[in-house]
Structure 1
């Protein structure tokens, strides 16, 4: 059986655009500016905009990972700082983000880890400076706050993908390299699994609403995204393909957050929805007898009238696809695929 880590496929051969329903018309608007692609030997900045790294050995391992990519790591000045559960004060963490965007020797910026704290620094970022120096920002989980703020205030592509401290297995690395180094437009498919079953259960797709949709990819961690509702740091989701994931959230909390997105008018704007992995999103109380996660998602996503599915390989999992925030993509809710329709980099 094919190795599950070799499923990244190029999208060459796409010959015709699909006719879009009126709801996806906003996707035809001009896309984001493109940061420069990465090249072997480029310097990349390492920041900690949220939680802190526990010890120097962990940081050394991160630097070795970046070097293994053929890149040169440059650690931000306050990475070794600590303020409670944060990697330094809000002012220090924001200063590191601003400095890495201003530094002409730095070609891209990797978050070392997530945690919590990115939203606290959003008012302290210099968006005029950042707009003038478009660079790939890479990370997921709490880094969603930075992705959303840059989509709203800076207008260039970022990459929702592993943080620098992730394990970076072959699938993760191949996906990131394809986008960031090669400027490719891959087709992401459900992973194959090797199971001793007549019908394997891993990698299965749950389709809540059939069909295909095209739009700008926008999203990330559901908890972080919902917490930004009502702030000036969310982009316009009209005609977008919303992708969301989460971890360690009970079914009722997923329900609550999706309800918030509905009441805020966000879910009613999108052209399609992809729910990735929800790691440990199962209530473990002995008396719990409520909705399953799939039932919650069916209630919210099945009623939207746009293509929607669950099971794409992104989220809090050892291997995940990199998704270019702001780039146009096509989803097929029946096949469970995401096809990138434009390069993420210049």
Structure 2
């Protein structure tokens, strides 16, 4: 029997330092997130970061927390419910970090008689710190607890026409209500070394401005290329002219060389360039979360206005929109036919 496991990032149980700390520990101690030897990672995370970061992160979570709980969890549950209503095989929801674990999701499917699982990480673009860590953990759990199960891993869907169409329609709906000067595509940042580590050719990715536009097998796992490709296809579909849009990367950690240009730096410079009305979309996420609601809709908004901007629109993610849920349901139906 076939079934589906949808997997997103996760969330702390509450916006308090007490609950944020174990969540951050699990997240940052993941070797695919901070990819340094264990002892150094433990020193960085437990010796330095977790001494101050939980309080600051808890304050950020508190700004976006709803009466129902974490926005990412609430939205993911709604999306899961809609998708399940559109298909006739079991669909479970899990998070890579936190209490809605992949183990629980697999157990739920197992208890319903599922032995063939469509594993769908809810990340459009492939990255070590998102897709890889989900697939690796799920496989470890399968081998240990559910050896009779078979996985079909859904690859990054950054350029699938139906995803691009759903994303473009979602963006257009908001742009139609806002007379913008510029549309910014802000993607989650990753360290540059992650790009090189996922280069299966071991030679293509130079992050030099040209390699992402030169055909290569490396693009199958290149986060940077996939981000630029998503942007390229969406602006083509929406007919947005050159010069009226740009792309940046957000959420970097200090001490590493991360993908550039940086979202906050670029946004702060825009008003002096004549961009007074800015729309920002975050296509690395399918559901609104801390990075979209607090970092962009609140912080970036405040900074843009502070530097002379006049109007700012944070375009919501696709969340549990009907078109997006139908798109995922159609992928599941294709899986059923295989």
Judge same fold: TM > 0.5, yes or no: no
Identify, as 1 or 2, the structure richer in strand: 1
Report the TM-score, using the length of structure 1 for normalisation. 0.31
Report the TM-score, using the length of structure 2 for normalisation. 0.32
